[in-house]
Amino acid sequence: MLTADYNKYARKEKMIKFLFLWPTLIILFFLIAYPFIMLIYYSFFNFSFLRPVNTRAVGFKNYTSILTDTYTWERFIFTFKYVVLAVSIQFLLGVFIAYFLQREFSGREAIFTIVLMPMMLCPIVVGLFWKYMFNTEWGVINYFVHNILGFNQVEWLGTEKNSLWATIIADTWMWTPFMILLSSAAFSSVPKYLYEAASIDRASGWFKFMNITLPLSAPILILALIFRLMDSMKQFDLVYTLTGGGPGDATQTISFTLYKTAFQYFYTGEGSAWAFILLIIIIGLSSILIKLLNYLSERNK
């Protein structure tokens, strides 16, 4: 009797696994994997969807021409600078603000919603609007910097260094709420009795944070970091509307270069090669973080 029950149980388990996993798998396969396979295929050709004449197979030439181009390395370096700076600032700020909002105080829920608002805006609107605010002449930011604080007018979008920081500022403003939200959810899911137990032992706030909150929320925090990192590498809407890749080609992230190659130039073959290279980079970075995530999850169990 036990064996029969067990078989029934095993079959049900299997059916549930099947039912639960397959919708996800099917949708993802058709809508992502299949076009991506097409992409890889095209990356070996000198092909353009728009100008289909002159197509010929070129083997790895697309890849080598990208990797040996000096501009490519400039783009990589810029993208890394931007991603590392932006995501670190967002991570630190986000965790700090989330922790800050953990306490109970009147109006907490309203404040929490307000703090999340920048993330809710459309990235296109955010990019355009920050462009307006960063305008050298009419921008309100320069108004504060120049008229009120007395510094020189900053050409925010006119020089390389400034436009890097302008992009970081706009990106941070917009995406820190993502970290805040996930961190809050993570902090909220730490069982309260652990804090109570620590209070009984006269533990300080800092101690509680370092030894209870942080370790238990670490998996979700790392997950948030992974997502933020990936989204940042893919970042397009903001750069597109804020700087247009300028000045010159200073703020062209890899994602933006991909857009230019695949869309403005419609060099499908080369664009596909770029996409694949970008994917490899992101996979590499995420793998490292995922390993960390798995290690922390296991440890928590």
Partner 1 sequence: MKKTKWLVVLLAFLFAASFALAGGTKEEGAAKKPGKEVTLTVVWHGGVCADMLLEIAKDWTAMTGVKVEGALVGYGPAWHDKIASEFAAKGSGFDLACWDSQSIGEFAGGGHCVLLNPYIEKSDKLKMSDWSPEMLARYGEYPDASGKIYALPINADAEGMHYRKDLFEDPKEKSGFKAKYGYELDIPQTWSQLRDIAKWFTRPPEMYGLGMMGGREYDYLTSVTNCLVWVFGGELWNPKTNEIKGYIDSPASIDGVKFYIDLMQYCPPGVETWGWDEVNTAFQTGKIAMAHNWFYFFGAMDDPEQNPYADATGFAILPGEVGRDGLFRREFSMGGQGIGISKYSKHVQEAWDFIEWYEMKEQQKRYGAVCQTGRQDVLDDPAWLNANDYNRLFRVAFKYTNDYWHLPEYAILLDILQEETHNAITGKKSPEKAMADCADRQEKVLEKAGYKIKRTPHVDVPDTVCPNPCGKPKIIPIHVD
Partner 2 sequence: MTGRKSIAKRIVFIIILAVILIYTLFPLYWLFLASIKTRIDLFTIPPKFFFKPTFNHYKRLFIYTTLETGEEQQTRFLFWLTNSVIEAGIGTTLAVVFGTMAGYINSRMEYTGKKDFMFFVLSTRMLPPVAIIVPLYIVFARFRLADTRFGMILLYTLIGLGLATWIMKGFFDGIPTEVEEAAFVNGYTRFQAFIKILVPMVKGGIAATAGFCFIFAWNEFTFASIIATRYAMTLPPRIVAFMGTSGFEWGIVAASGYILIIPILVLFILIRKYILMGMTFGVLGRK
Residues near partner 1 (CB under 8 A): 12, 15-16, 19, 23, 46, 49-54, 135-138, 153, 155, 157-160, 243-249, 260, 263-268
CB under 8 A: which stretch of 67-75, 83-91, 154-162, 270-278 binds partner 2? 270-278
Yes or no: say if 44 and 58 are a contact pair by the CB < 8 Å rule.
Answer: yes
Among positions 255, 267, 269, 270, the unique one binding partner 2 when judged by CB under 8 A? 255
What's phi and psi for 57, nearest 5 deg?
A: -75, 135
**In the complex, what is the shortest distance from the CB of residue 271 to partner 1, in angstroms, rounded to a whole number?**
11
Dist. CA 256–CA 234, nearest whole Å? 9
- The stretch among 29-37, 61-69, 73-81, 244-252 that binds partner 2 (CB under 8 A) is 29-37
Rg (CA), the chain: 24
From the list 19, 53, 149, 200, which residue makes contact with partner 2 (rule: CB under 8 A)? 19
What's the distance, CA 296 to chain centroid? 21
Task: For residue 276, give every residue at least 6 positions away whose Cβ sits within 8 Å of its Cβ, in sequence order, or none.
Answer: 39, 40, 43, 63
Choices 59-67, 68-76, 84-92, 273-281 (CB under 8 A): range interacting with partner 2: 273-281
Phi and psi torsions of 44, nearest 5° = -100, 10
Q: Which does 234 bind (CB under 5 to 8 A by kind): partner 1, partner 2, none?
A: partner 2
Chain positions 153 to 212 lying near partner 2, rule: CB under 8 A, are: 173, 178, 181-182, 184-185, 188-193
**37-45, 66-74, 159-167, 242-250 -> range binding partner 2 (CB under 8 A):** 37-45
Q: Which of partner 2, partner 1, none is residue 249 near (CB under 5 to 8 Å by kind)?
A: partner 1
Q: For residues 47 and 99, which CB has a smaller minimum distance to partner 1 in the complex?
A: 47
- The string of DSSP letters for 208-220 reads HIIIIIHHHHHHH
Task: Give the number of other Cβ atoms within 10 Å of residue 277's Cβ.
Answer: 19
* Residue 116 near partner 2 by CB under 8 A: yes
Nearer to partner 1, 72 or 135 (CB): 135
Q: Which residues in the 81-100 window bind partner 2 by CB under 8 A?
A: 97, 100
Burial of residue 253 (CB within 10 Å: 0-12, 13-18, 19+) is: buried
What are the distances in angstroms from CA 132 to CA 139, 157, 162, 176? Answer: 6, 10, 15, 21
